A and B are shown apart, each in its own frame.
Chain A
Amino acid sequence: MEPTILAPRKFARLATHPLWRGAGVTTLYAILAIIAIIQVFPLIWLLFFSLKDNQEVFNLSPFALPTHPKWENYTKVWTEGNISRYFLNSVWYTAASVLLTVLLASLVTFALTRMNWKLKGPVLGLFMVGLMIPVHSTLIPLFQMFMKINLTDHPLSIILTYTAFNLPLTIMILLGFYQSLPREVEEAAVMDGCSVNRIFAQIVLPMTSSVVATTVIINMIYNWNEFVFINTFISSDHLKTLTVGIQNFIGQYTTDWGAIGATLMISILPILIAFFVLSNRIVEGITAGSVKG
């Protein structure tokens, strides 16, 4: 693809002028800072929200702290119900499905972009169709199916469903990256007599670690916050997840918003930490990859 766009060139000439550059850089940083403030506000808002009672939630400005922060919202959330159990379930359903999804998706994408076979197009198409079905269309069929094989109210129903529903998205994202990976390393490896498994596990997987980290983050967030499948397939309290903790405070006629805020705050912390750790991997992954590539 030969870029024939004119506008960038004109800008480019302007951008090189030192004075313009100085002003440009300042504006750029100002814009970046404003966006950063906007993006971090929700978290601060959520913290404040979690310290209010219903009266304050509706009366005070969203960015005002109540005079008496209601820390008891947190104690209420911790003592009410089975939150530590929910927490563990959330962690293990999320971890298992993320692992399974990213592994299976990597294998498929590897086969689609690196191996030689017919039917690649149709198979990719079949995976992509998975993106297109609205969740609520699948509930009744899936429930009936799990019921037939005695998997309702079983963690597997959740893990398999999460995996299946995230596979298409994950494959799509991986695909874009695999297509732009250089092939020289693998070719050399094949010459050296490497097996397919070794090429996948020891060459390609490390080279794609940044996109793997990306898909892990995306999958993790989706699974962590999911509640429609959990509510539908799981009925035992000891198998439910943190999203159920939110429902605990939604009543028939009234809702305890402060407690919901506290639950949301508690449930965002682990994922925030995981995100910050994984987020570094995106950069590190590249460095490792580019050394090899």
Chain B
Amino acid sequence: MDRVMSNKKMIALYVLPAFMLILALIYIPIVLTGYYGLMRWDGIGAMAFIGLDNYSRLVQDADFWQSAYHSFLLALFSAASLIGYLAIALVLSGDVKGANLLRKIYLVPMLLSSVAIAQLWLKIYHPTSGVLNSFLTSIGGSGSVEWLSNTKIVLLAIFIPIIWQYAGFYILIYYAALKNIPSSLIEAARIDGANPWQIAFRVKIPLIANVAKVTVVLAIVGSLKYFDLIYVMTDGGPNGASEVMASYMYHQAFRSFDFGYGSAIGFFLLLICLVITWLIRKLTASGDDIQYS
């Protein structure tokens, strides 16, 4: 066993192709982003080396920290939403009638591009003719909430479609993981007299703990660098009320032509993600997979 599975040539053959690709297409951009972050550069003319000026500006930039706060909130909400998705996946993977069809239907929104999702939610949130306000009026509410222009609610309003957009993604992963549990194990628990709750909490969830940990990392990292719907639906507005780190970076680099500063933000975002991922893996490490963290 050890000899076969320790063959250096085979290991290299398995790992190197992907590794080279990542090195070329992800690490070169990362290194260059770090490099541009040390420059004053509008992305067009000559670069000038300014050391860590962009970073000291970043530290004092209240707009950036506001966007970072928004990103962290989104990460928190996304991570919390995983519980709901896990619950749905648990139900679907049990012996519910029609689970197969339901599962497919549940995942349909995932197929839509961000362009379509944004349009849909813009129609839902429209201040006068929107679905949500019409509904609120019909149940006796005031129905005149300005979902996307009220700076106090826009952030929550934009989080809902973002979190919903990923529902299919996580349900799919959980579902596949749950279905991957050998049915013999569940059968054995049932014979021992375990009820569905006990099977879910004592057999199924512990068995997919590894997958769950991965999804937590994915949800948090994905949220921290989230961009799409914010860009289409509010463009970070009104006046920065729904700005997140990635949209702030984009605005600096591509709208304000401050590519040096934009790169510094991009690099800093990467560092934040690294630290947080490291923390998550430390916190969730168990004897089984400590070797990977």
Contacts and interface: CB of A to CB of B under 8 A. Distances in A.
- A–B contact with Cβ pairs below 8 Å: the answer is yes
Interface centre among A46, A62, A108, A246 (most CB of B within 10 A): A62
Nearest to A188: B1
Nearest to B231: A136
A104 B179 contact: no
A191 to B, nearest CB: 8
Interface residues of B, number: 115
B112 A138 contact: no
A293 B85 CA distance: 27
Interface string A204-248: 000000110110011001000100000000000000000100100
A187 interface: yes
B154 to A, nearest CB: 20
A275 interface: yes
Most buried by B among A1, A39, A124, A271: A39
B293 A9 contact: no
B110 A276 contact: no
Given A5-B201, A176-B213, A160 B25 contact: yes
Nearest to A264: B116
Interface in A73-130: 104-105, 107-108, 110-112, 114-117, 120-121, 123-124, 126-130
A123 B129 contact: no
Contacts of B266: 133-134, 136-137
Task: Classify the interface of chain A: helix, strand, loop or mixed.
Answer: helix
B218 to A, nearest CB: 6
Most buried by B among A1, A120, A271: A1
A126 B16 CA distance: 12
A123 B19 contact: yes
B59 interface: no
Contacts of A175: 210, 214, 292
Interface string A8-43: 110110011000000000001100100110011011
A105 B18 CA distance: 7
Interface in B237-253: 245-246, 249-250, 253
Given A140-B43, A196-B10, A290-B183, A12 B213 contact: no
Contacts of A132: 221, 224-225, 269-270, 273-274, 277
Given A8-B197, A190-B4, A128 B109 contact: no
A54 interface: no
B112 A167 contact: no
Contacts of B8: 117
A190 to B, nearest CB: 5
A111 B43 CA distance: 41
B4 A12 contact: no
Nearest to B31: A141
A196 B7 contact: yes
Contacts of A260: 115, 119
A136 B2 contact: no
B129 A59 contact: yes
B141 interface: no
Interface of B: 1-2, 4-8, 10-11, 13-15, 17-19, 21-22, 24-30, 32-33, 36, 43, 88, 91, 96, 100, 102-117, 119-120, 123-124, 129, 131, 134, 167-169, 172-173, 175-177, 179-180, 182-184, 195-198, 200-202, 205-215, 217-218, 221-222, 224-225, 227, 245-246, 249-250, 253-254, 259, 262-263, 266-267, 269-270, 273-274, 277, 286, 288-289, 291-293
26 contacts: A8-B201, A12-B197, A28-B91, A42-B117, A43-B108, A59-B129, A61-B131, A108-B19, A117-B11, A121-B292, A134-B225, A136-B227, A136-B253, A145-B25, A164-B22, A172-B217, A176-B177, A179-B289, A182-B182, A197-B10, A214-B173, A221-B111, A268-B116, A275-B104, A275-B107, A279-B107
Closest 4 CB pairs of A and B: A176-B211, A137-B266, A164-B25, A132-B273
